[in-house]
Amino acid sequence: MNEHVQTEAGESLFNPLAPEFIRNPYPYYERLRTTDPMHLTVHGAFVASRHAEASLVLRDKRFGKDYVERTIRRYGPDIMKEPVFRSMSHWMLQQDPPDHTRLRGLVVKAFTARRVEDMRPRIQQIVDETLDRIVPQGKMDLIEDFAFRLPVTIICDMLGIPPEHREVFYAGSRDGGRILDPVPMTPTEIAQGNANNAMAQMYFHQLFELRRKSPGDDLTTQLVQAEEDGSKLSNEELTANIILLFGAGHETTVNLIGNGLLALHRNPDQLALLKANPSLITNAIEEFLRYDSSVQLTGRVALEDIEDLGGKKIPKGESVLCLLGSANHDPAVYPDRPERLDITRPNVKPLSFGGGIHFCLGAQLARIEAEIAISTLLRRLPDLRLDDAVNPEWRPTFVLRGLKHLPASWG
């Protein structure tokens, strides 16, 4: 079955950039899980919508990233001449061992449980200062004014970006997610991706020079020193992975906070429960991740012929797209009404941070940021209300699922 095969209602099974799909993908996921759980798309990739297949692919060594070959298959042999795709080919996120092991080993110390736990006071300080500034206004955009500033400030701290340089990052556009979508980009979108990549490279090259002259206790200094060692990191790898760390360090957390706040306000019983029992916040964050994941999809390539995956044969070199958002709603794993938000749900173990060797480095940091941000907001603004919880504006991207705006008021 492919995307041209339609349901009785005349709707395509998998059309991830359609506005109605972006608005609410979960009914489409349910249809995929029940009618074609290893769906073959018109772009030649298999879509794994059930938890069993998705979680297996993420952890099985028979699957890898093989980014360059996979991208050439989608776009043609000249695509790696495009700077943005060439840069992405150096991301640790797109690498297989041994390069993945080497690159991840250079940054993993910054994300240990102890270091992340030690950031709690700083995270609380940023949230309080943000709210101190905003509360007297009586209204805000929960995305731009609140959810966005916290993770951007934290990743700027971690990368050693000086405070006087940060306004450009707070004002920065959030349109970079399109490059991760399973639908190929248009030439115009590729040109925009190249322009965004060039601007990022220009800034980070200046930051590298600054940290060579005056080293600090930050990730950029650490990676610059690894690059000077030569055997550990090339200049292209340094630049690409700093860009990755900046983007990954805030994008998904912004969406986690925004999607979580929207889910609470659309489910007033759960909002009231969390206000009455603030200690539920840790489990609530896991449920937000499961209920409406910030990352909806991650892909792998078959490194050998796979005889049977969900009833399909996967030839070597074929892509499998793991629908994390769909796996998180699979009744085989969450039998008690998976479509319902339940912040007391037991044994919530969402696939939202991926799995296997590519499990998200910053997972625990994202959890703590969202926990402090949401619990502090509900405590300090108990009468907060969303101006449009029914039809909010979603970003026009699929893999990174998040709101463009979420106006709110109080008082």
Domain spans of the chain, in order of start: 19-409
Quick check: pTM over 0.85?
yes
pLDDT for position 135: 97
pLDDT for position 401: 97
User: Do 211 and 158 touch, CB atoms closer than 8 A?
Assistant: no
257 exposure class (CB count in 10 Å sphere: 0-12, 13-18, 19+): buried
Phi/psi for 400 (5° steps) reads -95, 105
Sheet with 385-386: list strands edge to edge: 139-141, 407-409, 385-386
Nearest 5°: CA angle at 189, between 184 and 193?
Answer: 105
pLDDT for position 173: 63
Cα separation values, 34 from 28, 37, 50, 306, 369, Å? 10, 7, 9, 22, 36
pLDDT for position 176: 73
User: Do 204 and 235 touch, CB atoms closer than 8 A?
Assistant: no
Q: How far apart are CA 190 and CA 192, in angstroms?
A: 5
> What is the architecture, at CATH level 2, of domain 19-409?
Orthogonal Bundle (1.10)
Tokens at residue 352, please? 């939202």
Cα separation values, 92 from 159, 194, 234, 397, Å? 17, 19, 13, 22
Instruction: Encode the chain (411 residues) as per-residue pLDDT tens digits.
Output: 333 334 433 346 899 999 999 999 999 999 999 999 999 998 889 999 999 999 999 999 999 999 999 999 889 999 999 999 999 999 999 999 999 999 999 999 999 999 999 999 999 999 999 999 999 999 999 999 999 999 999 999 999 999 999 988 887 767 678 899 988 999 999 999 999 999 999 999 999 999 999 999 999 999 999 998 888 999 999 999 999 999 988 999 999 999 999 999 999 999 999 999 999 999 999 999 999 999 999 999 999 999 999 999 999 999 999 999 999 999 999 999 999 999 999 999 999 999 999 999 999 999 999 999 999 999 999 999 999 999 999 999 999 999 999 999 998
As a three-state string, the secondary structure of the chain is CCCCCECCCCCECCCCCCHHHHHCCHHHHHHHHHHCCEEECCCCCEEECCHHHHHHHHHCCCEECCHHHHHHHHHCHHHHHCHHHHHHCCCHHHCCCCHHHHHHHHHHHHHCHHHHHCCHHHHHHHHHHHHHHHHHHCEEEHHHHHHCHHHHHHHHHHHCCCHHHCHHHHCCCCCHHHHHCCCCCCHHHHHHHHHHHHHHHHHHHHHHHHHHHCCCCCHHHHHHHHHHCCCCCCHHHHHHHHHHHHHHCCHHHHHHHHHHHHHHHHCHHHHHHHHHCHHHHHHHHHHHHHHCCCECEEEEEECCCEEEECCEEECCCCEEEEEHHHHCCCCCCCCCCCCCCCCCCCCCCCCCCCCHHHCCCCHHHHHHHHHHHHHHHHHHCCCCEECCCCCCEECCCCCECCEEECEEECC
Closest CA to 51 of 360, 355, 381: 355
